Structure 1
Amino acid sequence: MGETMIGIIGGSGVYDIDGLEGAEWRRVESPWGEASDEILFGTLGGVKMAFLPRHGRGHVQSPSSINYRANIDALKRAGVTDVISVSACGSFREEMAPGDFVVVDQFIDRTFAREKSFFGPGCVAHVSVAHPTCPRLGAAVTEAAKAEGIRVHRGGTYLCMEGPQFSSQAESLLYREVWKCDVVGMTNMPEAKLAREAELCYASVAMITDYDSWHPGHDAVDVAAVVAVLSGNAEKARGLVRRLPGLLGPERAPCPHGCDRALEHALITAPAQRAPALLAKLDAVAGRVL
């Protein structure tokens, strides 16, 4: 048995978490560059916690400028074992209404301006993201949401677009009617892929703020409308987070779904041909197999 450390990546509207004992903001240096912000460390219910605001406090990073590799590396380096991502999203489903949460289990990645892997020339690896989220973690998040009285949907496909503009109506209808997606956001990719490469269990909570631009009864998305829903969602998210330590506990068994062993058969470059400079940067992410 190891020790649980829950890492929360806070999305739009969620820039801190309250109730942490011994709370302290601390910068974690990463060879992949600057993370979005310092990390807030503390304990909650006897379980270690680490909170990273994805956009930085004050919301200074756009979805495309976030250094996803540095964020995931910094969390792994800090000892995080389980990552819960919360992010504001639009909904393609009438029944997934603003204020509801969706525990996402699939993604379609439409981003194109981001670094998507820790691996590359000198050390090539291919991890499976057939099932990109951890069912164990997803179940805990769903239970926490229900206990908090949040209307929550278990399972859904998240379309990750590059942004920063919201969808055109044609795109919204394509994602909803042809591709059968459930929610749309701008930040869970390549975050989920990188968490898998770092052998971290990852769960994604989509906090719905709007109906994107497909819905005939709702105006196109605007920031003012989104911000109005965000504050309510942020309060719900904090309540959800407060319940996680009691559900996950301080002791950490190996993941039954193998998230913490994702690199077991992923490295393909022959050991003698691996580039020392890249291996040095991979010390936290892939140290277990290197």
Structure 2
Amino acid sequence: MTVYAIIGGTGLTELDGLTISAVLNLDTPYGAPSAPVLRGNYAGREVLFLARHGHPHRIAPHQVNYRANLWALKHAGAQAIVAVNAVGGIHPAMGTGHFCVPHQIIDYTSGREHTFFEGELEHVTHVDFSYPYDAALREQLTAALATGGCAFSGEGVYACTQGPRLETVAEIARLERDGCDIVGMTGMPEAVLARELELPYACLALVVNPAAGKSTGIITMAEIEQALAEGIDKVKAVLARVLAE
């Protein structure tokens, strides 16, 4: 039976209902992960959980040690990863509270440690990243969203920006011209590191605000926090349905 790992993003620093059997403080060749890897039972299945930003939420998107996080999950026994991400909505369909299971991603970040294949290598390694998200895992997520009656899009292009600041109106206009539907700060290099480790990986994105210029007002943290509070129970229910199936 597949051992799933859940990477919790903003608003999901702990997984209520997880019966913890082990707290794994793992050393990695890349430094310390954001938090201990929790092993336990959720929805009747063994699962691993890692808080991407630490617990409490304290690590900015550009400072997350993505390599340590992915290495730790792999060596804890993860066989597939569901990443939960809070995002801004660019496409008109991506309103606050909407879910998206992206099928593509564009990386706008810089300066992040983005590969395991560097240093003194015996040979250069390239991984195919044409389709960054695992198709079967995406289908599981969309089926769970449909069963739960959630408003969702089964496709979308995720724009990953550097952060920690939010984007300008002009930057969002550029991302829209590039074909992006949602925008976040943590989708990369997480996705490609999972690919390098041969771990199936998919993203469950919750829209928590309209992107810059997509509403009449400015974006506030109060708005984002309210959307997270209203949407996080749905996120947990979707994860439970995926694991139960």
TM interval, short-chain normalised: over 0.9
* Alpha carbons 1:92, 1:214 under 8 Å: kept: no
Tell me if 1:7 matches 2:5. yes
In the other structure, the counterpart of 2:235 is: 237
Alignment of 1:1-290 (within 5 A): 3-123=1-121, 124-176=124-176, 178-215=177-214, 217-247=215-245
Distance 1:136 1:44 in 2: 21
Which protein has the larger Cα radius of gyration, Structure 1 or Structure 2? 1
What residue ranges of structure 1 are gaps of 5+ in the alignment?
Answer: 248-290
Distance 2:18 2:163 in 1: 33
Q: Residue 122 of structure 1: CA displacement?
A: 2.2
Deviation track 1:111-144 (CA, whole Å, cap 9, x = no partner) reads 0021000011322211011000001000001111
Distance 1:144 1:27 in 2: 31
Deviation track 1:161-218 (CA, whole Å, cap 9, x = no partner) reads 0011101110011111x11100000001000000000000000111101111122x43
Name the amino acid aligned to 2:106: I
- Normalising by structure 2, what TM-score? 0.95
Counterparts in 2 of 1:243 and 1:167: CA distance versus 1, 3 Å: same
Q: Residue 22 of structure 1: CA displacement?
A: 4.3
| SS of structure 2 residue aligned to 1:98 | coil
Distance 1:20 1:206 in 2: 21
In the other structure, the counterpart of 1:275 is: none
* Alpha carbons 1:138, 1:203 under 8 Å: kept: yes
Aligned residues: percent identity? Answer: 35
Name the amino acid aligned to 2:156: G
Distance 2:166 2:19 in 1: 38
Name the amino acid aligned to 1:182: D
Q: Residue 19 of structure 1: CA displacement?
A: 2.2
| SS of structure 2 residue aligned to 1:118 | coil
| SS of structure 2 residue aligned to 1:37 | coil
* Alpha carbons 1:133, 1:204 under 8 Å: kept: yes
Distance 1:22 1:64 in 2: 29
* Alpha carbons 2:4, 2:79 under 8 Å: kept: yes
* Alpha carbons 1:211, 1:218 under 8 Å: kept: no
* Alpha carbons 2:209, 2:219 under 8 Å: kept: yes
Distance 1:166 1:45 in 2: 35
What residue ranges of structure 2 are gaps of 5+ in the alignment?
Answer: none
In the other structure, the counterpart of 1:278 is: none
Name the amino acid aligned to 1:169: V
| SS of structure 2 residue aligned to 1:104 | coil
* Alpha carbons 1:35, 1:71 under 8 Å: kept: yes
Give the CA RMSD over aligned residues: 1.3
- Normalising by structure 1, what TM-score? 0.81
Q: Residue 21 of structure 1: CA displacement?
A: 3.4
Distance 1:82 1:223 in 2: 32
Name the amino acid aligned to 2:133: T
In the other structure, the counterpart of 1:272 is: none
Aligned residues: 243
* Alpha carbons 2:20, 2:38 under 8 Å: kept: no
Q: Residue 157 of structure 1: CA displacement?
A: 0.3
Name the amino acid aligned to 1:146: A
Distance 2:51 2:18 in 1: 15
Distance 1:58 1:219 in 2: 29
